[in-house]
Amino acid sequence: MTRVGMLVNPTRLAASPQGPALLREALGGFEARGVAVRLNGPGAAAVGRPELAADDAALPDGADLLVVLGGDGTILRAARMAAGRVAVLGVNLGGLGFLADLPVAELPAAVPAITDGALRFDERTMLEGEVVGAAGVRARALALNDMVVAKAGVARVIRISTRVNDEHLATYPADGVIVATPTGSTAYSLSAGGPIIHPQVDVIVVTPICPHTFTARPVVVAATATVTVAVEPSGEEVCLSVDGQESHDLREGERVVIRQAAIRTRLAHLGAPSFYSILRTKLGWGER
């Protein structure tokens, strides 16, 4: 390993009393082992090394690893930035942290293992979506967790037609519809009543949000399926939300076409990742 990019969430870092000191220690550890490091602006400022600053989008370029200090939201953004080019190691600066499983307090001590090739990797599927209208594709997006079509305005039910491949699945009177990866099954989809899916199960989850019917249920479809979501005209503002971070307004007559992406995210871990252990710990499941 010769080069590492580090993406730091400044809000999470500021809320961590020891965060800046631990970041400086980890940086020193990488440099002592001959690894060149580039940080985003807030990270470089936190360690007093402005000469190491780079634009966020440039951090994966030429890097052997992208180390992300923050929470799951920061990792989701990093996954879209890296877009399959480089593995992502999540360092948890507080919060739930389903994806960021290395505590920041352990980062400096982990540097030798990271640089000596002790990391283990798992691949996570992603979704690609297109906003399609009469004139063709107007916008494209990539997501690690989910794509959500929902109303953006007042609290009124909208009618959402959902198709799987060329077959009509349902028209939901609801607040919206979530199309999620297995990784995203423990995020918004779970809150909306969707199933928990192991990250290595190759499927797509379709979950209606607050459906105005007792018969609507989440549906698990094949990873090869194409899910098309369209909202019936109602005068309501509707948008496509990507990983809860990127938004595209939907115009009347447009539809969102979602499928599994060819690109995958590689998550790096120290030691073997245990999905079930994470579930017990993060969701507070008790044991007898």
Beta-carbon contacts of residue 102 (< 8 Å; ≥ 6 apart): 89, 90, 91, 92, 110, 269, 270
Q: Is residue 64 within 8 Å of 3, Cβ to Cβ?
A: yes
Burial of residue 200 (number of CB atoms within 10 Å: 0-12, 13-18, 19+): exposed
**CA-derived radius of gyration, the chain:** 20
Task: Tell me which residue of 170, 167, 178, 154 sits closest to 226, measured CA to CA.
Answer: 167
72 catalytic, yes or no? Answer: yes
Q: Collect all residues with Cβ–Cβ distance below 8 Å to 153 and sequence separation of at least 6.
A: 236, 237
The 3-state DSSP class for residue 142 equals strand
Paired residues of 125 in beta bridges: 264
Please tell me which residue in 72, 101, 146, 175 is annotated as part of the active site: 72
Alpha-carbon 166 to chain mean position: 28
| Sheet arrangement for strand 146-151 | 219-222, 203-209, 176-180, 146-151, 238-242, 246-250
Q: Which residues are catalytic?
A: 72
